[in-house]
Chains A and B, each alone.
Chain A
Amino acid sequence: MKKTIYHMELLNDTSMGLQVLDYLILSSGSDTRACEVLKKYASQGIVIKTVVIINYRERLLDSKYTDNIFSYKSYSSFNTKEIECDIKDPSSSLQGLLDIEFKPESIIGVDISYLTKPHLFFILKLLKQRFLIRKLIVFYTEPKTYLFTKGLFDTFKTSSGPLSISEIQGFSGQRERGAKTILIILLGFDGGLSKEINEDVSPNQTFVINGFPSYSPKFKDISLITNEKLVSDKNISVRYSRANSPFEIYNLLQEIKSLEKNVFINIAPLGTKPMALGACLFALHNPEVRIIYPLPDTYESKYTDLSWNTWQYVLPMN
């Protein structure tokens, strides 16, 4: 049965959809997108009682006070709580978040634009499981462009250096004996990654979901071309879902799940953040699902540029 979990809204320049928040959780970052939502709140004079900043230690190391990564400090009207944590270990933010003592009825916004996906998954599960949060408001600002360093088809990487393909903390899933292993890859541009994951998980069947319509028409083609080897494999099925809608992904995942009984679903959220958000919601509602992600040594400090649309999603967490 499909779940209706919708509210999805494009925030325009006057940002009429913004509402008062008890908390806004966001990650600092050197791209303008990192503070786009904060900027909108400040310019509208709408209240956020506490802004929770997730600061990745690795990114702070070589940053000067004047770097863009600290641009959140310029919004001095907000009460701010900074949590320093390891980019590779989401659970390192646990104590900082537990100290906040969110209430189930708190109105919490999460700006996922610059949160890494493992941290995004971790925070959402924490809010649902330990704080019993009933509803979340999630913001996402699309990038105006992705940075392709040497050409469109071979060089896009959101991470740098070696990778370790791992389960995202809190999303180990459960495989029943004899279950058919299914891998669902939300396709990104980094073709090497999806191939690695497919080999590591070695599923009986793989679905790849391409973001379509994508932010820009060419993106859907780039992701297919860079993943050519995987897509041409025999046991691969290609599906499409809107790149900016977590809800479409959610429903598509639900549909794939209903195709067969006794399956062990693995999801690799390599595509856009809203697609990852949909996968996260799906996994929160289906705890037997495993989330696999290639944890890099470090992320590129900047792999997108400039802000485009900002979306607001209202998610029921139960």
Chain B
Amino acid sequence: MNDLYNYSNPFSGVNAVQLDIDSILDYWCNPFMYDLYSEIKEADIYSDVMNIVFMGGRSTGKSMFLRYWSYPVQFKNAKNNNQKLSKSIADKNGIGFYFRIDGPILRSFQGKGISEETWSSIFIHYFELIIGREYFEAVNCLYEEGEIQDNEMNEIFLPKILALIGINNQISLQELIDDFDRRIREIDLYRGNVAFFKEPFKPEDRGFQSQMLSFGIPEIIISSLEVFHGKNIILLLDEFENFVNYQQTVINTLLRFSKPNIKFRLGMRLEGFRTYQMMADEDFIKEGREYRKVVFEEVINKNRGYHQFLIEICKKRLESIPLLKSKGFTDIQKILSDKEDLEQEAIEIARGQPDKIINFFNKKLSKVEISKIRSDNPLMEALNCLWLLRGVSIDTVQKSMNDYLNNVKSPDALKYSRDYVDKYKLSLLILTCSIYRKNKQYYSFNTFSFLSSGIVGHFIELCRRSFAIAGWGDNETLLNDGIISKEHQSKAARDFSLAEKQQISRIETYGGLIAKFVDNMGNLFRDFHLDIKIRYPETNQFAINIDSISDLQLKEAMKSAIKWSVIQRKPGMQRTAPSENLQDTYTLNRIFSPIFQISYRTRGGKSIRLSEKSLIMFMHDDKVDSSKYLNEEKKGLENKPKKPGDSLDLFSV
């Protein structure tokens, strides 16, 4: 019995930046095995001669990915496999150095009455020192392991390094590392006190210019140390979006002038570049020339590889809890159930009030007529009402349903099947929930995968909350049967959805505008979902050409929404109507679906077209009048076919 209360949530608190090296290796799931990124292969990490930018929202696994390729993790992996460290470098064809400078430090290099030009010099000096120290630590590690010989170190490598740095006396590598510590401390002290004294920075020793150490040291490493001959030096720089504008220009310049054997792998949010400018004002970097891009966040996850990847990640976490491992509860698909059962959900909602759907659609039907469209399945009953509303005769409705249910291969049955199974089932359930004033439930592995919007961290958080709620609500079922009820899952999804929505206003830039936009857009989608005629089922995307927005504030707000994965761009461009131009199409992050009670699926079809004028309303008005948009669509439909089963060409997925 004690076991029930003595286990920790397997999905709690695993932030890649915080993990120790052993945990990185324990939790690592190689995304290349799941075919997640078509743009890149594993060998490119160390060998691609182009800089690579890894873009994705928060919790998409960028930090885990970048840290994994860094030398401390690879060295530990080699040791675990009784391999020499130099063999690891040889096998990988290079060595990786991971850097993350936290936001508060980066932001401290500005303001306080000091000019940006001065801060820029201080930051460059700091950045070069931080990178230089990391190089030295890696070399020292190999030296201590006996994989760099004394003569190589003392007669070749160190003299060149000391000359580069401008140190005249002979000191050891460890002493050099200590010296770099001192120089870094000097900057920290200055950052701490400048607000009180507002004096210029005067380092005890020389200041370093850009590239001096970041490129200068690797060149010496590669040329002087045998283990690095012909190998690549990879700088894995994380959270680049936190770098302030001028700091990005410093790194952009390094991207432009990176050497053949020294390349960057940057991790950042989508739209994480604040600027493409370089330190020389007139110059800028460009995708395809200075870097190539790999996107970690993919709103459409039709790829089964993503599902398998999630299962594997969860398995490692579930196995980390001895109790769950011993009971064999390590398959998240079984714990959450594979897919939701829409029909069962509808039956439970309608239980005890069977007439509500028919009453809602049409109160004037006779008892005989009602009996013809009755079904034990509320969703079919709702579809029958929808067909009636669209002008189909009651006898045709009855025949179509019966043919479908009796597996008769008639054209009516085919149309019925197409509408029920392929097109409207989820829409009918959402409408039914609205009629009964109940919340749609969001549960199952498949649903959580969709809700996660390609962001692994979202899936993990949905699981964490499900486990936490089940832990309180029904621990015994969880630990005896390895199942979490759909009610508990659904509560987890709603809570997380609400929490994410509340966080929007906290976004550093334009949070208020984005929060209003999401509110208005979510409610508009909701109104489309409640359309009694379900003219545009599961409408949950919009089209806009962000680059053509002339109002800078609106444009930047939209970019910030992308950066924080509040909205996600669908691959490829679409038309909102046959006569319209191709435009980029966006969805709200699916995690907001539970709070707005809308579809979590990614389908083609209807997009709300947003002009700049309407965007102003969506970002500034407390409530946008949805009738305008619904009526616009209604007009557009007047010339469209109205027969049941006729496709409205909405779902050219």
Binding site for B on A (CB under 8 A): 89-91, 94, 122, 125-126, 129-130, 154, 161-167, 169-177, 192-193, 196, 199-204, 228-229, 232-236, 287, 290, 292
A203/B18 in contact, CB under 8 A? yes
Q: Which of B1-51 contact A (CB under 8 A)?
A: 8-9, 12-15, 17-18, 20
Interface check B508, CB cutoff 8 A: yes
A236/B13 in contact, CB under 8 A? yes
Binding site for A on B (CB under 8 A): 8-9, 12-15, 17-18, 20, 58, 100, 102-105, 107-108, 111-113, 133, 177, 181, 185, 188-189, 191-193, 195-196, 198, 464, 468, 498-499, 502-503, 505-512
15 A/B residue pairs, CB under 8 Å, sorted by A: A126-B196, A162-B505, A162-B506, A162-B507, A163-B506, A163-B508, A164-B508, A165-B103, A166-B104, A169-B195, A172-B105, A201-B102, A204-B20, A290-B104, A292-B104
Provide the bound-state CA to CA distance between A163 and B108, in Å: 15
Chain A residues with Cβ below 8 Å from B505 are 161-162
Chain A residues with Cβ below 8 Å from B196 are 91, 94, 125-126, 129-130, 170
Provide the bound-state CA to CA distance between A175 and B8, in Å: 31
Provide the bound-state CA to CA distance between A130 and B195, in Å: 12
A90/B13 in contact, CB under 8 A? no
Given A163-B508, A199-B15, A202-B15 in contact, is the A232-B468 Cβ separation under 8 Å? yes
Provide the bound-state CA to CA distance between A210 and B502, in Å: 23
B12/A94 in contact, CB under 8 A? no
Provide the bound-state CA to CA distance between A203 and B19, in Å: 9
Most interface-central of A170, A172, A175, A192 (chain B CB within 10 A): A172
Most interface-central of B13, B111, B502, B512 (chain A CB within 10 A): B13
B507/A200 in contact, CB under 8 A? no
B18/A204 in contact, CB under 8 A? yes
B510/A167 in contact, CB under 8 A? no
Provide the bound-state CA to CA distance between A296 and B108, in Å: 15
A167/B18 in contact, CB under 8 A? no
B511/A161 in contact, CB under 8 A? yes
B510/A162 in contact, CB under 8 A? yes
Given A161-B512, A170-B195, A192-B506 in contact, is the A234-B14 Cβ separation under 8 Å? yes
Extra contacts, 8 of them, besides A91-B198, A199-B15, A200-B102 (Cβ < 8 A), are: A89-B111, A91-B196, A94-B198, A174-B188, A177-B177, A232-B9, A232-B12, A234-B14
Question: In the complex, what residue of chain B is closest to A175 when comparing beta carbons?
Answer: B188
Provide the bound-state CA to CA distance between A5 and B185, in Å: 29
Chain B residues with Cβ below 8 Å from A122 are 195
Chain A residues with Cβ below 8 Å from B185 are 174
B192/A287 in contact, CB under 8 A? yes
Chain A residues with Cβ below 8 Å from B181 are 176-177
Pick the residue among A170, A199, A201, A234 that contacts B193 (CB under 8 A): A170
CB distance from A124 to the nearest CB of B (A): 12
Question: In the complex, what residue of chain A is closest to B180 when comparing beta carbons?
Answer: A177
B502/A154 in contact, CB under 8 A? yes
Question: In the complex, what residue of chain A is closest to B112 when comparing beta carbons?
Answer: A91
Chain B residues with Cβ below 8 Å from A91 are 111-113, 195-196, 198
Given A172-B191, A233-B12, A233-B13 in contact, is the A202-B18 Cβ separation under 8 Å? yes
A174/B506 in contact, CB under 8 A? no
Question: In the complex, what residue of chain A is closest to B471 when comparing beta carbons?
Answer: A232
CB distance from A167 to the nearest CB of B (A): 5
Given A162-B508, A164-B508, A173-B192 in contact, is the A234-B8 Cβ separation under 8 Å? yes
Chain B residues with Cβ below 8 Å from A163 are 506, 508
Q: Which 9 A-B pairs have the closest CB atoms?
A: A233-B13, A202-B17, A172-B192, A169-B195, A234-B13, A91-B195, A162-B511, A172-B191, A167-B104
Provide the bound-state CA to CA distance between A161 and B511, in Å: 7
Chain A residues with Cβ below 8 Å from B188 are 172-175
CB distance from A132 to the nearest CB of B (A): 13
B112/A169 in contact, CB under 8 A? yes
CB distance from B103 to the nearest CB of A (A): 5
Chain A residues with Cβ below 8 Å from B12 are 232-234
